[in-house]
Amino acid sequence: MAETASNILPLGTQLIDFELPDAVTANLYSLVDVEGERGTVIMFLCNHCPYVKHVVDEIVRVANDYRVLGFGFVAINSNDVDQYPEDHPDLMWQFARKHNFTFPYLYDRTQEVARNYKAECTPDFYLFDGEQKLVYHGQLDSSRPGNGHSLNGRELREALDALLGSRPIPGPQKPSVGCSIKWKYAPKE
């Protein structure tokens, strides 16, 4: 498995709207449907990636802990399902159910949303504040498959806690690391 680090999206970047179908309910979701009063976490995930599989249960714990505090969460799968059929929406709902997702799991068929966010890997985490400005883009924590580090969501939790307490987000922000997004064709530069 080749590690790919997330791209840099400048802090302060404005939250970009989207309208995508949820793999579980088939309902269309846009930004207004998923954003939280205090902030919004956008996560790029997929079904097959060993990095996602390693952290998915902690992602659900973080979402459950912070949704009640006014944060919105949404997961987006942008992989090319022709290359990776295990990421197909027909299987996304099974993955979401198996891991008890309490947030929408959206399918980005055109990959436009991933390109707009400069997403590069799965998992990839973006935290926007209540004014829809990017305040954190980085890893969930330092745990990776087989590295022995504690899986605790530390970095994302610290960013959420700082935003909740109106404090600066701790730095430096370390990029997320995972599998590359499986593009249908080469990304536009």
Q: What is the pLDDT of residues 154-189, one digit of tens each?
A: 999 999 999 999 999 988 899 999 999 999 976 555
Three-state DSSP class for residue 52: helix
**Per-residue pLDDT, 166:** 95
Instruction: Report whether 117 contacts 36 (CB < 8 A).
Output: no
pLDDT (tens digit per residue) in 55-97? 999 999 999 999 999 999 999 999 999 999 999 999 999 999 9
Cβ neighbour number for residue 13 with a 10 Å cutoff: 17
Residue 11 has pLDDT above 90, yes or no: yes
Instruction: Report whether 130 contacts 39 (CB < 8 A).
Output: yes
Calpha distance 123→39 (Å, rounded): 19
Q: What is the DSSP letter of 40?
A: E
**Per-residue pLDDT, 188:** 52
Tell how strand 28-30 and strand 71-77 pair up.
unpaired
**Per-residue pLDDT, 183:** 95
**Per-residue pLDDT, 186:** 61
Q: What residues contact 81, with CB distance under 8 A and at least 6 apart?
A: 87, 88, 89
Q: What residues contact 105, with CB distance under 8 A and at least 6 apart?
A: 22, 23, 24, 45, 75, 76, 77, 92, 93, 95, 96
Mean pLDDT (the chain) is: 94
In 36-165, beta strands by DSSP E: 39-44, 71-77, 105-107, 121-122, 124-129, 134-138
Domains of the chain: 4-180 (3.40.30.10)
Q: Which two tokens stand for residue 116?
A: 């707009």
Residue 6 has pLDDT above 60, yes or no: yes
Calpha distance 3→71 (Å, rounded): 29
Strand partners, 77: 107
Q: Which amino acid is at 109?
A: R
**Per-residue pLDDT, 171:** 84
Q: Give 3-state DSSP helix, strand, coil % of the chain, rounded to 5.
A: 25, 25, 50
